Amino acid sequence: MSAERPILPPVRLHTEAELARDALAAPLLARAVRLARWAGPETRVGAGGELVEEQLPAAAEHLGLTADEDGAAEASEAWRLAVDTGLVDVEDPEEAAGEDAQGTAAAGENLALITGGSPQDVLSIWLDGLEAVHADATAPVFEDFADLVGEDGSIDFESLDWDPEVETEFLDGILGNLYLLTVGDGGADAAAVPLPALAASMIVPDDMGEPTDDVLEQVSEAMMRLDDQFRVLEPIGIVEYRPLDEALLAEEGEDATPPADDEDVTRYGMVKLTPLGLYGIRARMLEAGVDAPAIGDLADKGADELLAGIAYYPETAARSEVELWLTRRGADGAAAELLAAARGADQQAPLRRLHCQQALALVGAEAEPAVRAVLDDPELGGLARVWLAELGAADVPAPPESMIFWLAIDTIAAQLESEGDLEELQGLVEGLAGRHSGFFDEAWRVEHPATADVLEAMGRLHSDKKKAKEARKAAFKARSRTGA
């Protein structure tokens, strides 16, 4: 089975039960649930399902919010989420009732799932809420809504200079970069990211040395935009956000310029994805067709899919995936299944054999009968001998010379395919060539699909010029022999 190199590293998610608890604790969803339970026969809504203005003070009081405009705005926001997530059902007024007619509200079907449903039910409701909040975060900011309304009552959206697709793409790009930084830095335990660095990740070209004034101005504008957006996103629980220090705006004017190297970067805003945020952003990426693997995705797959799937995983992630696979599948027969999946002459086969050997170490001594059964296999015999030697097994037959060279080529081919640490690979190359006198005189004859490519790579990597030249000559012979 061919493996494709994933764009994103695998993420380690919390359990659904833990994530559901986090979702219920998110301030905005918690308020939405409280308002859904508060709603009754006397609750009245406008034509768009919004809570009527005269009932906002009572809703704010029920939520323990301040009795002012801010409290009313937060109560209105929580009510909208309750409607958007199905915690509340609204009944629009009848058209014949006139312009000032009001609708009614009652508990929605989803409210019962908050306490009586499964963790998946709760997370599904929360994801609906995330979509609604994400839409709010990308909505335009109205300085004066009245200026947008024409004499005929129509709204001039073009004057907003707002493109919903562009705004959504920008925020999704920012959240994607934050996800990548988080997963690559240890998951939910990763450090918070400075807002200037996150804004720059979307604006400053990779090949740009010193940013121009124009680029710095774009980064500054993006920081201000993101500050508003993360303030909207934080209450749904996907980020922990330390806002931009408003004193900076007083010091620097309307826009905060990116900090100098010696400044306190935390004043410019710090953001971190929560465990719930990792789950939510991954769910959005999967919905968009992005390959965003998670540890445990392969636990119920066959050994062929397991070895193909973990081919390019970091070592710790690959080990965790194999451990979950073994827990689900059981050790009985696992070794034989892994060995069978490791065979092949395709480009990823050497990497599958490397991961197979590492997986067999987790199976333990129970794997020995299956490993001994492949001692004479031309592709697996070398791997089997190495594994048995590491186990400390007795009566391990010495490998024929042809198998030694085949295993050397296969081992380097696996490392080249994985694009591992360059110094480690160079050490492996020089170690193999040094242990076997006349290595390159024999290596070009090895019947392995990657022989020529491996020898070429050894020629590039070997620090000894003479050995490097021998490797390149051997690579030429290998290509000539196969007619490549």
DSSP-derived letter for residue 86 is: T
Query: What is the spatial distance between Cα 11 and Cα 183, in angstroms, rounded to a whole number?
Result: 6
Which helix (DSSP H) or strand (DSSP E) does residue 25 occupy? helix 16-25
Q: Per-residue pLDDT for the chain (484 aa), expressed as one digit of tens each?
A: 345 666 788 999 999 999 999 999 999 999 999 999 999 888 998 878 899 999 999 999 999 999 899 999 999 999 999 999 999 999 887 765 666 778 889 999 999 999 999 999 999 999 999 999 999 999 876 554 555 556 665 656 566 666 788 899 999 999 999 999 999 866 667 789 999 999 998 888 777 777 788 888 888 889 999 999 999 999 999 999 999 887 776 665 555 666 555 567 788 899 999 999 999 999 999 999 999 999 999 999 999 999 999 999 988 999 999 999 999 988 889 999 999 999 999 999 999 999 999 999 999 999 999 999 999 999 999 999 999 999 999 999 999 999 999 999 999 999 999 887 778 888 888 887 777 778 888 899 999 999 999 999 999 988 888 888 999 999 999 998 876 5
- Which residue in 291, 289, 357 sits closest to 322, CA to CA? 357
DSSP string, 246-258: HHHHHHH-SSPPP
Please report the pLDDT score of residue 38 as a whole number: 94
- Give, rounded to a whole angstrom, the gap between the first and last alpha carbons of the chain: 24
Question: How many secondary structure helices (H) and strands (E) does the chain include?
Answer: 22, 6
Contact 67, 57 (CB under 8 A): yes
Query: What is the spatial distance between Cα 389 and Cα 264, in angstroms, rounded to a whole number?
Result: 55
386 φ/ψ sector (left φ>0, alpha ψ -120 to 50, else beta): alpha
The two tokens of residue 51 are: 């809570």
Query: What is the spatial distance between Cα 23 and Cα 124, in angstroms, rounded to a whole number?
Result: 10
The two tokens of residue 156 are: 């001039």
Taking the alpha carbons of 79, 80, 83, 84 in that order, is the dihedral positive or negative? negative
165: CB partners within 8 A, 6+ apart: none
Backbone angles phi, psi at 9, to 5 degrees: -70, 160
Contact 28, 129 (CB under 8 A): yes
Backbone angles phi, psi at 27, to 5 degrees: -55, -45
Cβ atoms within 10 A of the Cβ of 41, count? 8
Query: What is the spatial distance between Cα 25 and Cα 264, in angstroms, rounded to a whole number?
Result: 32
483 φ/ψ sector (left φ>0, alpha ψ -120 to 50, else beta): left
Contact 454, 439 (CB under 8 A): no
pTM for this predicted structure: 0.85
Tokens 């604006």 appear where?
Answer: 203
The two tokens of residue 230 are: 């993360």
- Which residue in 300, 358, 318, 415 sits closest to 9, CA to CA? 318
DSSP string, 306-330: HHHHTTTS-HHHHHHHHHHHHHHH-
The two tokens of residue 469 are: 């030249």
Ordered alpha helix ranges (H), 211-274: 213-233, 246-252
Burial class of residue 368 in the structure, from the number of CB atoms within 10 Å of its CB (0-12 exposed, 13-18 middle, 19+ buried): middle
Q: Which amino acid is it at 446? A: V
Q: What angle do CA 251, 259, 216 make, to 5 degrees?
A: 100
